[in-house]
Amino acid sequence: MDASQVWSALRSLNYLVVVDILCVAWLLYRLLLLAKGTRALQIIGGLMIFFLAVVLSERLQLQTLHWLLEKAFPLGPVALVILFLPELRHALEEFGRLRFWGQSLGLLKTEEMSQMIGEVVRAVSTMAVKRIGALIVFERENGLEDIIATGTPINAQTTSELLGTIFHEGTPLHDGAVVIRNARIVAAGCTLPLTASPKVDAAVHTRHKAAIGMTEESDAVVVVVSEETGTISIAVDGKLKRGLRDDTLRERLMELLQVGDGRTPPWAPIGQVATRVGDALKTAGGRRRG
């Protein structure tokens, strides 16, 4: 195929069809990310097995079984709405959030997330001094609907005062975990899965085992404050790092939650470059005058 044929094929290509396919593929990808980490994937697996049973029962001429499965078809739409009600509600909520449509509005995300991290670090530092146990889960790409369902809905802005109140000893929610999504506390008093790894030291307490277990089953980031020692720890990918200071915790959260570089705002390098260019121009001007 020569260049003229290639150019002719490109001219005859309907670019709207390509854009349409790409949009559908991207939308399906984002919906799968929402379903990841929830029971939706298990339900989808059950539906696939159901349809496979319908086909096999017809091919193998299992008349009674095929008749029963066919009778269940009219109930399918209603059953899907009932089974996927929490997931559908979560998907509709995500449609209205900026995070679902990508990371193009990075400055807005950076500002909100930086403020949230500052409030968390402030609360964690206070709780560490007072030796108040805490367990804070940061949702990333994997949905945590199953974990959120075990706690009490909050849906409030993340502040150090609210976190201190939730984990204050004697309050009904202080023993559970707080889940933070999109810089907001969505639930408190949540139950996390404990790790079953034999590599975990027997001296590791329940909060830390829950943090490790949570990060083994999802891509979440979990911050733990030890009630016994006041030590601040962070769990990621099934690994626990202890003995963090305030500044180290801030930098690590900034990095893991993709907010700048953990030390300077995203516009700082631009300012530094502008300053250096200005200094260079002043130096050049001084040399010319000299």
- Write out the two tokens for 82: 């009932």
Domain end position, chosen among 52, 78, 100: 100
pLDDT of residue 105: 42
pLDDT of residue 195: 86
Are 252 and 109 within one domain? yes
- Asked whether residue 284 is assigned to any structural domain, the reply reads no
User: Between these two residues, 109 and 130, which has the higher pLDDT value?
Assistant: 130
Are 116 and 27 within one domain? no
Predicted confidence (pLDDT) at residue 5 exceeds the cutoff of 60? yes
Are 94 and 134 within one domain? no
Are 85 and 135 within one domain? no
Neighbours of 145 (CB within 10 A): 21
- Asked whether residue 262 is assigned to any structural domain, the reply reads no
- Asked whether residue 157 is assigned to any structural domain, the reply reads yes
For Cα atoms 152, 155, 161, give the angle at the middle one, nearest 5 degrees: 90
Are 63 and 187 within one domain? no
- Write out the two tokens for 45: 């697996």
- Asked whether residue 221 is assigned to any structural domain, the reply reads yes
User: Between these two residues, 189 and 103, which has the higher pLDDT value?
Assistant: 189
> In the chain, pLDDT over 70 holds for what percent of residues?
67
Mean pLDDT lowest among 36-50, 128-142, 264-278: 264-278
Reported confidence tier of residue 277, pLDDT bands at 50, 70, 90: very low
Provide the domain limits for residue 55.
3-100
Are 144 and 198 within one domain? yes
pLDDT in tens, 68-77: 878 777 776 7
> In the chain, pLDDT over 90 holds for what percent of residues?
31
- Asked whether residue 272 is assigned to any structural domain, the reply reads no
Q: What is the mean pLDDT of residues 256-263?
A: 61
Are 158 and 92 within one domain? no
- Asked whether residue 268 is assigned to any structural domain, the reply reads no
Whole-model pTM: value is 0.58
Are 125 and 230 within one domain? yes
pLDDT in tens, 193-252: 988 877 777 667 888 999 999 998 888 999 999 998 999 999 998 889 999 999 999 999
44, exposed or middle or buried, with CB in 10 Å at 0-12, 13-18, 19+? middle
Predicted confidence (pLDDT) at residue 125 exceeds the cutoff of 80? yes
- Asked whether residue 196 is assigned to any structural domain, the reply reads yes
User: Between these two residues, 94 and 210, which has the higher pLDDT value?
Assistant: 210
Residue 251: which CATH number? 3.40.1700.10
Are 73 and 38 within one domain? yes
Are 191 and 205 within one domain? yes
Token pair 């929490």 is found at: 86
pLDDT of residue 262: 40
**Among residues 226, 230, 220, 174, which one has the least CA distance to residue 204?**
226
Are 130 and 252 within one domain? yes
- Asked whether residue 276 is assigned to any structural domain, the reply reads no
pLDDT of residue 10: 59
